Structure 1
């Protein structure tokens, strides 16, 4: 009796092991073979890969019979979460309208329209948006470990700025609110519907956004902290500590004002909703102005009210620093700069706070 060919069995095992990966792939060289599972004819759609990192493939077509009807089929590996395609006028998530689809653990397919009014889940509103979906044209199909989002829009010309995103693994929206959580990954692209050319887009006004973030981070979020440390721990070097403290805080305030101006310019150009971040920034600026005016009105050391002035200056300064640090972290989140910026700023703060703890210990021990 012959021994079975070992290579043959290895081949079969490997084929079975990788079959999910092979079948989950899609490309514009392959035909869309979903037949009657889609609500409209998708045999002649134009096709292009739109997000290689996540394996997204987009097929689209403008109806010849009715020029206002656009058909779309977005294909992506099943992430065990949601897959989304957004139409944006600015290239940003906020203010865009998105078509989002998923298949839950029971095999129920869902596709919904959303309006992205802000960055918090409460502002991502289902069944709203600036695109009109043709009734009965939407479907989600799970085939060979891939999700296919199919829908038709009734509009003259869809936005050429498209955003694709994929949700965190294991998260599926549930009724009745169908709230979305923050995406695991996203990309902003532009498309020429006539030529079929697509390209990734950088975040709009990236230099201005980063300038706004850096000067505010350095000014309000770092120099202001260093200045307060000089005032508390450097008094034995009188009067040098005062001039160092004043120079540091004036520099911090100047950079902070520049950062606020950059913020107003950025808001007008992006037309984005950052009311909380803006409100905190204005509040911090007001506190900074109060500190500057307090310096100009500082009473003499021999004055009876000098003690109360010190309390006021100390309290307002600490409140300013707390809100400034919080707003810097919030601004990094809004800017979508990711964990690198957050980690870098956290490291700087950790060094400052550890240094402050050491100085505080030495200050207490010297007083005893």
Structure 2
């Protein structure tokens, strides 16, 4: 085994002059400066210099890969979280609104342009994540907060594929959302359904110089092309707030934005750790280890990749628990169950390393079987749960397509390496008389 390179002990002062400012004076340079800041400080956290292009020792290779992975995670996290906002949404009709609000519950968003002198408000209400027939509604309550007295815009897709959109004054808790005129004028009312998202457009004629409104939004099942009763717990009884049409602030904006950020942080952390790094670590252990020149570098890479994935995955798992506590009444049973099972199996894998027998121990074979079986199970469940997370979070299609592309590319690499390593091992058997099968040699899952 190659001797590991000595641990470098330089302090942060070595790079003091090269550190970029955290924030630049212009918004155009803010993100690039922040990315540089993250990369430099990831180096300090990992107690190593910025990686060089070539390394001569396995430990240098491990440190370099660890630094690159850490930078990639932080930058991806920042990019995705900053990208997922109502400000970045582009309507298919190319309509542009001057303000928007990420509503705190029910995966909803409000866009609007308001002229206080005339009281005219052009609005677009978006509700995402609609996988089954459901109605959506957005309303203003001129009389107070809550459902009763609200003036609603209702929309849903009928069984023939056409959209039904109309106005409905809500006069009681047992409303059937019947059609009716509102207490203020409504024009240009329309609705669209695409990519599991309903968008309601309208122009409202509010009293002049109105600045603050009480808004309510809701969803529920569609039964026989008519709105059914919505849930009476959880997010469905919390979806209301006061909105300032001029400033864009609402009574729950801070909470809403925090919750939305937590959702995307949860998704990014788990997609990268469980969905990408874990499978990559298995590929390293199974295929890279076959090459004699990669020993023991493959071991360091495998351990670094899997350990990093586990740590990041645990953080993502904890954010999921926090989101669960913040969202009473919202049930994602399958996603949550798989997540708990993943955490349990991965933790078991980590703990079992302390009990790993030596290579020549009679129980090593059984430990290898256990380690590989649990490892493959974790990979399958990880990828499955990432896709369930996409269905729940309903981000832009490009993120799901990007993940599919990564997994597909990894699958192609695995197929090519599987063929190549079998050929390589068969040749070795012929030349050396080794009777071990390919799966019994170096290159199998496990360490």
Task: Flag whether TM exceeds 0.5 (same fold).
Answer: yes
SS in 2 for 1:139: coil
Cα distance in 1, alignment partners of residues 317 and 390 from structure 2? 15
RMSD: 4.7
Partner residue in 1 for 2:281:
227
SS in 1 for 2:321: helix
SS in 2 for 1:70: coil
Partner residue in 2 for 1:301:
359
TM-score w.r.t. the length of structure 2 is 0.47
Matched, 1:51 2:109: no
Partner residue in 2 for 1:209:
263
Q: 1:205 to 1:192 in 2, by over 3 A?
A: closer
Partner residue in 1 for 2:12:
none
Please show how residues 1-368 of structure 1 align to structure 2 within 5 Å: 48-51=121-124, 61-62=142-143, 70=149, 72-74=151-153, 83-84=154-155, 132-133=172-173, 138-139=178-179, 160-163=214-217, 174=224, 192=242, 199=248, 205-235=259-289, 236=292, 237-271=294-328, 272-368=330-426
Cα distance in 1, alignment partners of residues 174 and 245 from structure 2? 23
Cα distance in 1, alignment partners of residues 218 and 123 from structure 2? 9
Deviation at 1:174, TM superposition (A): 2.8
The unaligned stretches of length 5 or more in structure 2 are: 1-118, 128-136, 192-199, 201-212, 231-238, 427-447
TM-score w.r.t. the length of structure 1 is 0.56
Q: Deviations over 1:1-60 (max 9, x none)?
A: xxxxxxxxxxxxxxxxxxxxxxxxxxxxxxxxxxxxxxxxxxxxx974331899x99676
Q: 1:191 to 1:47 in 2, by over 3 A?
A: farther
Cα distance in 1, alignment partners of residues 150 and 246 from structure 2? 17
Deviation at 1:358, TM superposition (A): 1.1
Q: 1:52 to 1:253 in 2, by over 3 A?
A: closer
Q: Deviations over 1:288-319 (max 9, x none)?
A: 01111222111111112211211111110011
Deviation at 1:336, TM superposition (A): 2.4
Deviation at 1:163, TM superposition (A): 3.6
Q: 1:217 to 1:59 in 2, by over 3 A?
A: closer
SS in 2 for 1:248: helix
Q: Deviations over 1:306-334 (max 9, x none)?
A: 11211111110011011111111211221
SS in 1 for 2:353: helix
Q: 1:361 to 1:212 in 2, by over 3 A?
A: same
Cα distance in 1, alignment partners of residues 147 and 412 from structure 2? 62
Q: What is the total number of aligned residue pairs between the two structures?
A: 255
Q: Deviations over 1:71-114 (max 9, x none)?
A: 5253xxxxxxxx43xxxxxxxxxxxxxxxx67777x9x899x9x
The unaligned stretches of length 5 or more in structure 1 are: 1-45, 75-82, 85-100, 114-130, 150-158, 181-188
- Which structure shows the bigger proportion of residues in helix conformation? 2
Q: Deviations over 1:210-264 (max 9, x none)?
A: 2211111111111111110011102233222222211111111111111111111
Cα distance in 2, alignment partners of residues 133 and 160 from structure 1? 17
Deviation at 1:346, TM superposition (A): 1.1
SS in 2 for 1:273: coil
Cα distance in 2, alignment partners of residues 325 and 365 from structure 1? 29
Q: 1:104 to 1:300 in 2, by over 3 A?
A: closer
Deviation at 1:62, TM superposition (A): 3.4
SS in 1 for 2:149: strand
CA contact (8 A) 2:138 2:217 kept: no
